[in-house]
């Protein structure tokens, strides 16, 4: 009896395994054979047939979802987007107050397997531009490979998603040195084309103490057809998270570029384009505090700046924010530093919609102060 039981169990296990490697007809023939040899009753066979049919249908559904059909919100394809409608009221004479689309973006991403993922992120405001287009292969939490076009791993604020910013605009030094609107090679939106490795390690109580990113990029910026020089830029970032809510980061950038031609310099030559920065952020309850410093060298010009900001939810949906933001575009010149004092609030209607109001008090180191303060109001929906 014991031998019969073992034999019967092995045959049933063989049948279950065969569902992966044989066709349904073969399974049915095997069931009929087990019934003839009195190793399986008709009722047990029917039950197994039902289970096999359900498993096969689930497999077909999964294959169809991941390879053939588009299913929004599925693991294979997730569609999200961001719309930011903005109003700017300018104090400066001769500058018109205006409404505009600050950002209008559509994001398509997903996982084609447990290891492989992708993302395609497009900007539609003003002019259509491809922001991100890359694929990643994750071996483990400590090692992931990414290649394509995406944000370079430099600066906490630059790497923060546009929908998660506590202010309508990023800081001056980040705009200037992280490859954004004031960069010497033009507006790169913090992005470039290249490859990188990244990961997290040293896990303690469900918290990774460290994360790192190391990448090699063209250095010419994003959404371009070719590199403008033969040199490849290197970017590295290390994050430290000693306790929950407290984060520190350090970033290094070493590269070369050919600056955008101007009337004064119609034929610019390749020059150094190096950066380094440190940042810290602490979040506890309704309070958040962020500080970041960055320094850049472009040819013979040294630039630097820093900001400190704080936010506090005085009500569950109402956050007050304040920021000190200073930037010096040339350390040799003593009259070109710009400092902005920003105060405002965010009202969070729900998980997708937010209203932001910022007032920017601008101060320049010039003999005559320019009246160029700005009131900004932005309605955001992220889905």
pLDDT digits (tens, 9 = 90+) for 324-374: 999 999 999 988 999 999 999 999 999 999 999 999 999 998 877 788 999
Q: For the ranges 13-22, 24-33, 213-222, which has the lowest average pLDDT?
A: 13-22
Give 246 or 260, the one with higher predicted confidence: 246
DSSP characters over 134-194? EEEEEEETTEEEEEEEEE-S--HHHHS-GGG-SSSS--HHHHHHTTSTTSTT---TTEEEE
Q: Which pLDDT band holds residue 140 (cuts at 50, 70, 90)?
A: very high
pLDDT value at position 56?
65
Range(s) for CATH 2.40.160.10 in the chain? 70-382
Using DSSP, state whether 286 is helix, strand or coil: coil
Helix crossing, 2-21 with 42-67: angle to 10°?
Answer: 30
**pLDDT band with cut points at 50, 70 and 90 for residue 40:** low
| Cα 80 to Cα 72: distance, rounded to the nearest angstrom | 9
Average pLDDT, the chain: 87
Q: In the predicted model, is pLDDT for residue 65 greater than 80?
A: no
Give the confidence band of 22 by pLDDT, cuts at 50, 70, 90. very low
Task: Categorize the per-residue pLDDT at 75 as very low, low, confident or very high, splitting at 50, 70 and 90.
Answer: confident
What is the reported pTM?
0.79
Sign of the CA dihedral with 360 first, then 282, 201, and 238 last:
positive
Q: What pLDDT does 188 receive?
A: 80
Share of the chain above pLDDT 70, in %: 85
Q: Mean pLDDT, to the nearest integer, of 28-56?
A: 71
Q: Tell me the C-alpha to C-alpha distance, in Å, between residue 237 and each of 20, 113, 276, 279.
A: 44, 27, 10, 11
Q: What is the pLDDT of residue 208?
A: 97
Which CATH superfamily hosts domain 70-382?
A: Porin (2.40.160.10)
> Does residue 23 surpass a pLDDT of 50?
no
> In this predicted structure, what is the pLDDT of residue 19?
43
Please say if the pLDDT value at position 156 is more than 80: yes
pLDDT in tens, 185-203: 777 889 999 999 999 999 9
pLDDT at residue 50 tops 80: no
């Amino acid at each position: 009896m014991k031998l019969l039981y073992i034999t019967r169990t092995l045959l049933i296990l063989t049948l279950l395994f065969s569902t992966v490697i044989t066709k349904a007809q073969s399974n049915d023939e095997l069931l009929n054979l087990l019934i003839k040899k009195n190793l399986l009753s008709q009722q047990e066979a029917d039950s197994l047939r039902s289970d096999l049919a359900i498993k096969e249908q689930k497999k077909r559904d999964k294959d169809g979802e991941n390879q053939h059909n588009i299913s929004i919100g599925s693991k294979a394809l997730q569609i999200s987007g961001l719309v930011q409608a903005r109003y700017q009221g300018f104090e400066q004479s001769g500058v018109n107050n205006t409404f505009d689309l600050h950002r209008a973006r559509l994001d398509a991403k997903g996982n084609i397997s447990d290891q492989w993922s992708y993302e395609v992120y497009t900007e539609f405001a003003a002019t259509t531009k491809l922001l991100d287009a890359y694929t990643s292969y994750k071996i483990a939490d400590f090692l992931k490979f990414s290649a394509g076009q995406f944000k370079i791993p430099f600066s906490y604020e630059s790497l923060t998603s546009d929908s998660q910013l506590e202010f309508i605009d990023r800081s001056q030094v980040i705009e200037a040195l992280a490859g954004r609107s004031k960069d010497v090679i033009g507006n790169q939106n913090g992005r470039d084309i290249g490859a990188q490795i990244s990961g997290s390690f040293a896990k303690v109580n469900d918290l990774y103490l460290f994360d790192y990113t190391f990448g090699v990029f063209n250095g010419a910026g994003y959404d371009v057809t070719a590199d403008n020089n033969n040199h490849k830029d290197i970017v590295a970032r290390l994050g430290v998270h000693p306790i929950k809510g407290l984060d520190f980061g350090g970033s290094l950038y070493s590269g070369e570029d050919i600056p955008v031609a101007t009337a004064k310099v119609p034929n610019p030559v390749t020059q150094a384009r190096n950066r380094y920065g440190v940042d810290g952020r602490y979040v506890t309850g309704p309070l958040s505090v962020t500080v970041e410093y960055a320094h850049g060298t472009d040819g013979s010009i040294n630039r630097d700046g820093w900001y400190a900001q704080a936010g506090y939810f005085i009500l569950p949906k109402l956050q007050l924010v304040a920021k000190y933001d200073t930037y010096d575009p040339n350390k040799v010149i003593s009259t070109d530093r710009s400092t902005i004092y920003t105060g405002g609030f965010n009202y969070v209607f729900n998980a997708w919609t937010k209203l932001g109001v910022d007032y920017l008090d601008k101060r320049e180191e010039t003999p005559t102060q320019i009246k160029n303060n700005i009131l900004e109001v932005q309605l955001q929906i992220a889905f």
